[in-house]
Amino acid sequence: MTDYIWLIIALPLTGSVLLHFFGRYLKEPLSGWLASAAIGGSFAIALLGALPFFEGGEHGTTIHLWDWMPAIGANLEILWDPLAAFMALIVTGVGLLIHLFAIGYMHGDDRFHRFFANLNLFAASMLTLILAGNYAMLFLGWELVGLCSYLLIGFWFTKKSAAAAAKKAFIVNRIGDLGFMVALMLVFAAFGTLSYTGVFERAGAELTTGTATAIALLLFVGAAGKSAQIPLYVWLPDAMEGPTPVSALIHAATMVTAGIYLIARSAAILELSPTAQVVIATTGALTALWAATIAISQRDIKRVLAYSTISQLGYMVLAVGTTAYVAGLFHLMTHAFFKALLFLGAGSVIHAMKDEQDMFKMGGLFKKMKVTGVTMAIATMAIAGMPPLGGFWSKDEILAATFERGGWWSVLWVIGLVTALMTGFYMTRQFVLVFMGRPRWSEGVGPKESPRIMTVPLVVLAVLSAIGGLTNTPIRLTLEHFLEPSFEGVHIQHVPESTVLLIVLALLSVAAGLAGIVAAYISYRRDEKDWREFEDGLQPVWGIWEDAYRIDDLYGKTIVAPGKKAAEVAAFRFDLPVIDGAVDGVGRFFQRLGEWTRPIQTGYVRNYAALFLGGTVLVVLWMLVGGA
Amino acid sequence: MIIDAGWYMALASVLFFIGALGLLIRRNALVMFMCIELMLNAVNLTLISAGRALNDLNGQVAVFFILVVAAAEVVVGLAIIVAIFRRRSTASVDELSEMSG
């Protein structure tokens, strides 16, 4: 079976190439179906390839495709192990559903086929990242994913804000990539190779704590860029300028998990550095809380979800920083399900509301859109951590493992708990504002349920959100056994042994979530002027939250403005006069020289003959007087 | 009577400068061409007399080569002059100053 694993990457890549070159000859839905078939094929192969891992104990193999840069251990090779299989299944599975949804959502777009070409290219890049057998190939996928993100955020590039958002995402990610690249250089300096097997087997014996800390932290800088952690999260909310399926696929379910995957993959290095663990876990917890406070106060339906994504990614980073890798990956999976569902549901709502994204102008949609409403309700409860839905098990596992680690981690646990409360609040606020209460849209909108092609993925994702958490309950640790071979020899932080303590912790987090839900329901089920009063009552804090702490302004003043200034100086004070001046100067010098010597060329034969004669006389004189 | 090689040299230089002067002051392409021939043969004369004076055959051999090359050159040169004359109906080289800088 491992002979065919490369097809997982090759299928969507082929689909992308075909659609890029021949897509415009295909009728509208056909290119969407072609792209979906490509990623569906990848999913099937991933599933077949993952079968041996379900039996447990299988370690996986490295599949060598061809030599790329053998001298530095960077070949095109696939490490097919449980972790890779797990990620590949999520990316292709959720990806397939989102591809299908997009067939309905992108209906009528002029560049329909181009959208699917890019979507397939994204899937291929993400799968390259996941299946890579060394850091160099991972980096290749990492950069390609960044490119696809840029292409898809700016898909509607005639809209100025979309073009700006795409640029912002790309540039902020580059900052993270810089850390990543330095980390790769350190890895190479320490081990002389970039291959996973070479690095992870020797890490424990050869790496000093200092180097391990440096590598782990620099890798985390890269991860913070991709996975939208403080301070590099600012690109993600703006990324919502892209079409909603893109937000669902790239900026919620898959691409942003690349950072989590990177850290989990590098567990053998992180293991050696308690300092890096503290930094990563703390950043994660703070991001979770920070983004949750912003999510509470947003009016744009997609922005709420964007900040919610940052917050949930914070949970995952907290988990991997706590070395509770399985818990982090578990949350990654459940989050992929319910966040994809939330985004697609939001897309369905936006579609029905004729591109209105302001939640204050929605309301009462439940009666009009039953399927979207019910599935969104399930997702809302799942992310709020209500048992027995997905988010309950995974979030609880993270919080319990954090609690078990003790010491500083107890503080992080409290932050996580507060975030759980806020999660319940903002998600319920969103649900109530969109689906309940009186309609606040104008007469002409006339929302109705989306077509079947959009609702079927919603239903599938709702089922997955509901039962996805059952894959790793304290009673049956299926996922943990599945992933265990990938983390062999690495310490994994587990939840407390004591059942009583576990139940108490679970009750606490459920209570926190429930408190948020109830508070939001009470505050927002009433008329518009009541909750406007409620929000005004929380000024000025609410205003600061609503403006997202004005971080964009801060970055604009402290980083972007000086950067522009420096670029201006470099361009108009240095590049133009000095570099261009030197180049132009060379040209001008020879022009002058030419103008000055031009009169010699009179065109009269006798002048040439005279010069010739004069020259000859000079040469003869020189020879006579004593030259050669 | 044996004439000293110096006389031949003097004659050659006189011929050469007559040719050079003609080349510089005349405008008729045909006359200029004849002046060039004059210069060429002045040089031939020096080569022959030097070869004779130094008792070296190389001087005469070189002249044969020059004569052959000059014959070829005359063919080409005259052909060009005739072609120009046909086109411009003038043989004055001052009319042909298009290549001025």
pLDDT, tens digit, 9 for 90 and up, residues A281-336: 999 999 999 999 999 999 899 999 999 999 999 999 999 999 999 999 999 999 99
Question: Rounded to an integer, what distance in angstroms lies between the CA atom of residue A417 and that of residue A466?
Answer: 22
Alpha helical stretches, state H, A470-572: 478-483, 499-524, 528-537, 541-546, 551-555, 561-568
Question: What is the spatial distance between Cα A273 and Cα B86, in angstroms, rounded to a whole number?
Answer: 95
Instruction: Tell me what percent of chain A is helix, strand and coil, each rounded to the nearest 5.
Output: 80, 5, 20
Domain ranges of chain A: 273-546, 552-625
**What is the spatial distance between Cα A464 and Cα A339, in angstroms, rounded to a whole number?**
11
Phi-psi sector, A385: left (phi>0), alpha (psi -120 to 50), beta:
left
Residue-level pLDDT at A395: 92
Name residues whose C-beta falls within 8 Å of residue A170's C-beta, 6 or more positions apart in sequence.
Answer: A146, A147, A149, A150
Q: Tens digit of pLDDT for each residue in A460-493?
A: 999 999 988 888 888 788 888 888 888 888 888 8
Which residues in A lie closer than 8 A to residue B24 (C-beta atoms)?
Answer: 606, 609-610, 613
pLDDT tens digits, B22-59: 988 888 888 988 999 999 999 999 999 999 888 889 98
Q: Report the share of chain B in percent with pLDDT over 70.
A: 98
User: What would the two tokens of residue A214 be?
Assistant: 């440096």
What are the chain A neighbours of B101 within 8 Å (beta carbons)?
A: 597-603
Centre a 10 Å sphere on the Cβ of residue A69 and count the other Cβ atoms it contains: 13
Confirm or reject contact between A605 and chain B (CB < 8 A). Answer: yes
Does A540 sit behind a cis peptide bond, omega within 30 degrees of 0 on the bond before it?
yes
Beta bridge partners of A80: A61
ipTM: 0.84
End-to-end CA distance of chain A: give it in Å, rounded: 84
Q: Which residues of chain A have pLDDT under 70?
A: 1, 627-628
Q: What is the pLDDT of residue A367?
A: 87
What pLDDT shows up at residue A324?
92
Does residue B101 belong to the interface with chain A, where contact is any CB pair within 8 Å?
Answer: yes
- In chain B, positions 14-73, which contact chain A (CB-CB < 8 Å)? 20, 23-25, 27, 32
Judge: A601–B101 Cβ closer than 8 Å, yes or no.
yes
Helix-strand-coil percent breakdown of chain B, rounded to 5?
Answer: 80, 0, 20
* Two tokens, residue A349: 């709502």
8 Å CB contact between A114 and A19: yes
- Chain B residue numbers with beta carbons less than 8 Å from the beta carbon of A597 are 101
SS3 A485: helix
Six token digits for residue A309? 């994504």
Interface A-B: count of C-beta contacts within 8 A:
34
Quick one: tokens of A35?
């792209």
What pTM did the predictor assign?
0.81
CB contact under 8 A, A610 and B98: no
Exposed/middle/buried for residue A396 (C-beta within 10 Å: 0-12, 13-18, 19+): buried
Chain B interface disruption, residue of A596, A598, A604, A617, most B CBs within 10 A: A604
Nearest to A322 by CA among A413, A231, A261, A210: A413
Q: Which residues of chain A have a CB within 8 Å of the CB of B23?
A: 606, 609
Quote the CA–CA distance of B9 and A59 in Å, as a whole number.
Answer: 103
Residues of chain B in contact with residue A605, where contact means CB-CB under 8 angstroms, are 32, 93, 96
Helix or strand (DSSP H, E) at A62: strand A61-69
Work out the burial of residue A164: count CB atoms within 10 Å of its CB; fewer than 13 is exposed, 13-18 middle, 19 or more buried. Answer: middle
- In sequence order, the β-bridge partners of residue A66 are A76
Give the ranges where A132-257 is alpha helix by DSSP (H): 135-153, 160-191, 196-206, 209-226, 235-238, 244-248
Contact A600 B97 (CB under 8 A): no
Distance CA A318, CA A260 (A): 10
Cα B1 to Cα B4, B12, distances in angstroms: 10, 20
∠ CA A176-A315-A167 to the nearest 5 degrees?
A: 30
Element spanning B33, H or E: helix B29-54
Inter-chain residue contact B100 with A600, CB threshold 8 Å: no
The H-or-E segment that residue A68 falls in is: strand A61-69
Structure token pair of residue A396: 């609880």
Q: A533: Cβ–Cβ under 8 A, 6 or more apart, which residues?
A: none
Distance (Å) from the alpha carbon of B1 to chain A's nearest alpha carbon:
32
Q: What is the DSSP letter of A451?
A: P
Q: Taking a C-beta distance cutoff of 8 angstroms, is the pair A330, A393 a contact? A: yes
pLDDT at site A604: 84
Supply the DSSP symbol for A76: E
The residues pairing with A62 across neighbouring beta strands, listed in sequence order, are: A79
* Interatomic CA distance for residues B85 and B44, integer angstroms: 30
Residue B1 has pLDDT above 70, yes or no: no
* The pLDDT value given to residue A627: 64
Contact A602 B97 (CB under 8 A): yes
Is there a contact between A604 and B99 if contact means CB atoms under 8 Å apart? Answer: no
- The chain-wide mean pLDDT, for chain A, equals 90
Question: Residue A537 has what pLDDT?
Answer: 82
| Tokens read off for A551 | 């971080």
Domain annotation for chain B: domains and CATH numbers: 5-89 (1.10.287.3510)
Instruction: Name the residue with tokens 């999510």.
Output: A295
